[in-house]
């Protein structure tokens, strides 16, 4: 019985070594394909700029949230 295990040992070693190597190669190929396709990674997206709907009562230009004076004409908000 022990003699039969000696012949199976290389098969087990190949399986346990090939599995992590195959996963690593697959992950690398997916990463390389994503880089070549030009599609940005989900984690690297920049947040969308905040569009304000407030306008200065004096000059009518759009203002950002938190501004207390219009930077264009100097009028108080």
pTM over 0.85: no
- Give the confidence band of 18 by pLDDT, cuts at 50, 70, 90: confident
Q: What mean pLDDT do residues 42-67 have? A: 77
Between 1 and 19, the more confident residue is 19
Average pLDDT, the chain: 80
- Give the confidence band of 34 by pLDDT, cuts at 50, 70, 90: confident
**Contact 65/52 with Cβ under 8 angstroms?**
yes
Q: How far apart are CA 11 and CA 72, in angstroms?
A: 76
């Amino acid at each position: 019985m022990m003699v039969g295990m000696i012949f199976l040992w290389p098969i087990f070693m190949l399986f346990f070594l090939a599995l992590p190597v195959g996963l690593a190669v697959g992950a690398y190929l997916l990463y390389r394909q994503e880089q070549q396709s030009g599609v940005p990674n989900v984690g690297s997206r920049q947040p969308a700029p905040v569009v304000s709907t407030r306008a200065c009562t004096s000059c009518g230009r759009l203002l950002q949230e938190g501004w207390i004076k219009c930077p264009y004409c100097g009028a108080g908000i």
